[in-house]
């Protein structure tokens, strides 16, 4: 994890250097925009992390393991995919629920199917954002093309082994 953090900070430093070379104003604008976004997202990330801890404790482990556990197989993947498609909200919500499910005994392939379905075709995003902005035929075609991907991701995780 530390290596990823260091690489990300190095990437930010390179971008800041490039912005500085193009002008002080660009550097300041980038810093200001980044700081505002950081301050805007920080409480949401905190709520998501703390909330996922509560969700993990509140979710009945006796229900998670049989329905979404490693032994639930295709049924668990199907339920997780449906759950991902029906989960509203942004990454703080989606990934918090996935993390809570893992802590509660869900299998990695099932959580991979959940997060893939959430990312690719959350129903609320299709209806609220995509259909109004793009031709509905294109939106539904994209959704149909993406339909097998959570299952492929889960099957790949099962083949590769435990992440």
Q: In this predicted model, what pLDDT tens digit does every residue of 1-12 receive, in sequence order?
A: 788 989 999 999
Helices (H), the chain: 2-22, 24-58, 61-68, 73-86, 91-103, 108-121, 123-125, 131-133, 136-146, 149-160
The overall average pLDDT reported for the chain is 89
Q: In this predicted model, what pLDDT tens digit does every residue of 74-116 receive, in sequence order?
A: 999 999 999 999 988 788 788 888 888 888 889 999 999 999 9
Model-wide pTM > 0.75: no
CA atoms within 13 A on the CB side of 78: 4
- Which of 54-58, 66-70, 109-113 bottoms out in mean pLDDT, i.e. has the lowest? 54-58
**What does the pLDDT read at residue 80?**
96
Burial class (CB in 10 A: 0-12, 13-18, 19+), 103: middle
Q: What is the mean pLDDT of residues 16-45?
A: 91
The structural domains of the chain, with segments of one domain joined by +, span: 1-58, 61-163
Distance (Å, whole) CA 87 – CA 83 = 6
């Amino acid at each position: 994890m530390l290596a990823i953090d260091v690489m990300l900070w190095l990437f930010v430093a390179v971008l800041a250097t490039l912005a500085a070379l193009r002008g002080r104003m660009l550097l300041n604008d980038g810093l200001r925009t980044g700081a505002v976004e950081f301050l805007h997202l920080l409480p949401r990330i905190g709520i998501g992390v703390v909330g996922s801890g509560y969700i993990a404790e509140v979710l009945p482990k006796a229900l998670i393991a049989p329905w979404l556990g490693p032994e639930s197989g295709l049924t668990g993947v199907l339920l997780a995919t449906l759950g991902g498609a029906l989960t509203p909200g942004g990454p703080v919500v989606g990934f918090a629920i996935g993390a809570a499910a893992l802590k509660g005994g869900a299998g990695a392939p099932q959580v991979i199917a959940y997060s893939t379905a959430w990312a690719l075709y959350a129903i609320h995003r299709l209806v609220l954002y995509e259909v109004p902005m793009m031709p509905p035929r294109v939106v539904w075609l994209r959704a149909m093309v993406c339909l097998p991907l959570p299952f492929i991701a889960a099957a790949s995780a099962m083949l590769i082994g435990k992440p």
